Amino acid sequence: MNENSITYDVHWPLARSTEKGVAMNARFADTKAKRIGFVWDYVFRGDHMFPLIQAGLAEKYPGSEFVPYTAFGNAHGHDEREMLAALPGRLKAEKVDAVVVGVGA
């Protein structure tokens, strides 16, 4: 090396991933009407995005019914723990086939 050379140590900033994959449910096998719920944390533009998502799903699954996010409560509010604990029962009571969850940007 000459005296004008600069040496830098380089470190890899990422550790080996320890995350295990999450099994996803199978997609719908048909395009029959569904009952689809929306769950939102009231943080980022769900009130703008859900109508667009609903329109796309209604086109793909004609005759589908939609349960609005207001039916389930705020997934990020002062009572989020209670809301999330009650969510499986609420989804069952609403007889939804699938849920679209919006949790911010």
pTM beyond 0.85, yes or no: no
Tell me which residue range forms the domain holding 63: 35-102
Q: Is the pLDDT of residue 104 over 60?
A: no
Residue 48 to residue 8: CA distance in whole angstroms = 48
Q: Is the pLDDT of residue 105 over 60?
A: no
Answer whether residue 3 is part of any domain.
no
Mean pLDDT of 81-92: 94
Q: Is the pLDDT of residue 96 over 60?
A: yes
Amino acid symbol at 105 = A
Q: Average pLDDT of the chain?
A: 88
Answer whether residue 84 is part of any domain.
yes
Answer whether residue 29 is part of any domain.
no
**Contact between 104 and 41 (Cβ < 8 Å):** yes
Answer whether residue 7 is part of any domain.
no
